[in-house]
Structure 1
Amino acid sequence: MPPASPGPILRRRRLGGELRRLREVAGLTGDQVIERIGWASASKLSRLENGRSRPDPADVRALLDLYAADETLHGELLGMAQEAGDIRGWLRNFPVMTEQQRAFAELESGCAEILEYHAALVPGLLQTPGYASVRIASARQVGEEAGDPELGEDIETEVRARQARQALLTRGADAPRYTAVLDEAALGGRAGPPAVLREQLVQLHDLAMLSNITLRVLPRDAQIGNGYLPPTAFSVYRFADPLDPETLAIEGGFTDVMSTEVNTLNHYKVVFEWLRTAALSEPDTISWLLEAAGRLPGPATASALAYGSATAPTQRRRPSGRLTER
């Protein structure tokens, strides 16, 4: 089961922010730091401060000495540097993890809240093995046609890695709050064979009944804001420690972009608020998923079809509040 503690990528970003703050308090420029410590590469400090490289504890210690950090902060940040570099230790918490899945798994570990929107796909944290296999196989086919020399792991390994990530939604009392807006187009016939799609709809229904998970279907004809059309899929990650930076992941077809820049995050929070407002309510979404699954052929093997009239349990109701106020 995935760990509740933050993954290495988050530790790097937190450490980088602290090192930048200490440098600014000391009144030093990046060039002055490089000169005084004697580093050969001028980009080394930039990579550390932006969380783009695995920190060497010796380098972090040299910076803390230069900035005259007090003993308590010295110990805290050196411990953070150790966590940020311990990829192998962190990966031991997962049964399997691929390079493609790792960045998302690191972000999701230690999350207090996750917000996701996708116009064309069911998000990875919600996918059934069958749906994930279809999606991964289709992406590999594109790579083969394009002559990509690095197609990644085999499909079965990729699916197992995705399932390992999904365990965080049901890990118990410290599971994150999860909200997803699912475009109706992502749940239509192009998503896969009827049996695969039906199984996926049933799983979405079952997950939507959990107290920490909120799913909302966005109808095809729903008005978003004043006619706004979201151009990309995206996710927002919030963490229990307020000093850990909120992180945005923008998902493209074959590349992903991640950012902690506050202004950019606020734009996507506004968009997510519009999407959530335009989507069906939680009870209506649960009913929609149940009815959509019932229209597809397949055996009645999943628990969702036994619920009867689908209504959200009372314990699921939570105050909403605008994202930009939280």
Structure 2
Amino acid sequence: MPPAVPSPILRRRRLGTELRSLREASGLTGEQVIERIGWASASKLSRLENGRSRPDPRDIGVLLDLYGADDVTRAELTAITREAGDIRAWLKSYGAMTEHQRSYAELEAGCAEIREYSPVLVPGLLQTAAYARVRIVSARLAEEDTDPQSIETEVNARLARQALLQTADAPRYRAVLEEGALGRRAGPAEVIREQLVQLCELAARPNVTIQVLPRDATIGDWYLPPTAFSLYRFPDPADPETLAIEGGFTDVVSHDANALNRYKMVFEWLGTAARSPSDSLAWLIEAAETAAPPTATYGSPTAPAQRRGISERLTER
């Protein structure tokens, strides 16, 4: 199960931000720092400040000496340096991971809160294996990459990320999903039904909130969100909140405060326009109960019994 701690990548970004602030507060330029320390590579400091390299504790100690860091700052940044170390050990905790899924795992690790809006599909943290497989296969067709082993590796990596919501200190998770994202265009009937049942079960978790946005809902002053996006907040206020914008084949990640504030406002509009969490759960249960079960068709003797099972299972929880 993935550790409920920030990823080394997040720690490197935090460390870089702190080092840059200390350097600027000391009145030194990057060139002056390189000259005084005697590093051979002029880009070494830049990579550290931008969180693009694994920090060596000895190098960080030298920088802290040069900047005259106090004991509290030194202790804090020394701890962050340790956490920013070997990313391989952190990745091994997932059991399965790919480059694409790793980018999301790095954002999600150690989060206090995750908020997501999705207009056309179920977010990765909520997907069943069958639904994830449909999504990955359909996307790979556009890239002409249909290697079965590669697809299953990607599916397993996506499922590995989902353990995040089951940890003892799992983040608060809130998603606003368009009704259209839960319709028949997303996959075969049995896949959609299974996905709807899983959404019902996840929505019953204390740390998970799922809201369904009606097709005819008015968002803000007739606002139309152009794309899916996610917002990530961390327990430590000094760790920058993060925005991820899903753009089909290319995703954008930003820490810009202005962009974050705009998307936070949009998410509140979406939450206000969507059904309440309780009404959304009722909608999901009805949608799952009326969907065609994989082993029974509408009107068959076994269908009503299978549909009743969803509500009974949630009641037992």
CA contact 2:197–2:310 (8 Å) conserved in 1: no
**After the TM superposition, which of the residue ranges 154-163 and 37-46 deviates more from structure 2?**
37-46
The corresponding residue for 1:324 is none
- Give the Å deviation of 1:225: 0.8
CA contact 2:172–2:208 (8 Å) conserved in 1: yes
> In the TM superposition, what are the counterparts of 1:278-293 in structure 2 within 5 Å?
278-293=273-288
The corresponding residue for 2:289 is 294
The corresponding residue for 1:171 is 167
The corresponding residue for 1:195 is 190
Q: Map Cα deviations across residues 119-153 of structure 1 (whole Å, 9 max, x no partner).
A: 11100000000000000111111111xxx7x9897
> In the TM superposition, what are the counterparts of 1:31-70 in structure 2 within 5 Å?
31-39=31-39, 41-70=41-70
CA contact 2:230–2:245 (8 Å) conserved in 1: yes
- Give the Å deviation of 1:61: 2.6
- Give the Å deviation of 1:54: 2.9
5+ residue gaps, structure 1, are: 314-326
5+ residue gaps, structure 2, are: 296-302
C-alpha distance in structure 2 between counterparts of 1:43 and 1:275, whole Å: 43
- Measured at CA, do residues 91 and 17 of structure 1 come closer, stay the same or move farther in structure 2, by a change above 3 Å? same
1:95 counterpart SS class: coil
Q: Map Cα deviations across residues 243-290 of structure 1 (whole Å, 9 max, x no partner).
A: 221111111211222121211111110110011111111111111111
CA contact 2:288–2:307 (8 Å) conserved in 1: no
Letter of the 2:152 counterpart = E
State which of 229, 236, 239 in structure 2 corresponds to 1:241: 236
Q: Map Cα deviations across residues 130-180 of structure 1 (whole Å, 9 max, x no partner).
A: 000000111111111xxx7x98971111111111110111123x1111000
CA contact 1:133–1:155 (8 Å) conserved in 2: yes
Q: Map Cα deviations across residues 55-108 of structure 1 (whole Å, 9 max, x no partner).
A: 333432332222122344334323322321310111222121111111211221
2:154 counterpart SS class: helix
- Measured at CA, do residues 245 and 151 of structure 1 come closer, stay the same or move farther in structure 2, by a change above 3 Å? farther
- Measured at CA, do residues 30 and 179 of structure 1 come closer, stay the same or move farther in structure 2, by a change above 3 Å? same
C-alpha distance in structure 2 between counterparts of 1:103 and 1:247, whole Å: 13
CA contact 1:9–1:103 (8 Å) conserved in 2: no
Give the number of equivalent residue pairs.
307
- Measured at CA, do residues 303 and 203 of structure 1 come closer, stay the same or move farther in structure 2, by a change above 3 Å? farther
> In the TM superposition, what are the counterparts of 1:1-326 in structure 2 within 5 Å?
1-39=1-39, 41-144=41-144, 154-172=150-168, 174-298=169-293, 299=295, 305-307=309-311
Aligned sequence identity (%): 65
Letter of the 2:163 counterpart = A
- Give the Å deviation of 1:302: 8.1
The two structures, once aligned, show a CA RMSD in angstroms of 2.5
C-alpha distance in structure 1 between counterparts of 2:283 and 2:211, whole Å: 10
Letter of the 1:60 counterpart = I
TM-score by length of 2: 0.89
2:84 counterpart SS class: helix
The corresponding residue for 2:300 is none
- Give the Å deviation of 1:236: 0.8
Larger Rg: 2
C-alpha distance in structure 1 between counterparts of 2:125 and 2:270, whole Å: 19
C-alpha distance in structure 2 between counterparts of 1:153 and 1:238, whole Å: 34
- Measured at CA, do residues 43 and 272 of structure 1 come closer, stay the same or move farther in structure 2, by a change above 3 Å? farther
CA contact 1:283–1:310 (8 Å) conserved in 2: no
Letter of the 1:251 counterpart = E
Q: Map Cα deviations across residues 35-58 of structure 1 (whole Å, 9 max, x no partner).
A: 333445554433322323333334
1:180 counterpart SS class: strand
TM-score by length of 1: 0.86
CA contact 2:15–2:51 (8 Å) conserved in 1: yes
C-alpha distance in structure 1 between counterparts of 2:242 and 2:148, whole Å: 25
C-alpha distance in structure 2 between counterparts of 1:109 and 1:309, whole Å: 30
CA contact 1:206–1:303 (8 Å) conserved in 2: no
Letter of the 1:49 counterpart = E
- Measured at CA, do residues 306 and 134 of structure 1 come closer, stay the same or move farther in structure 2, by a change above 3 Å? closer
- Give the Å deviation of 1:23: 1.1
- Give the Å deviation of 1:307: 1.8
C-alpha distance in structure 2 between counterparts of 1:177 and 1:41, whole Å: 43
Letter of the 1:85 counterpart = G
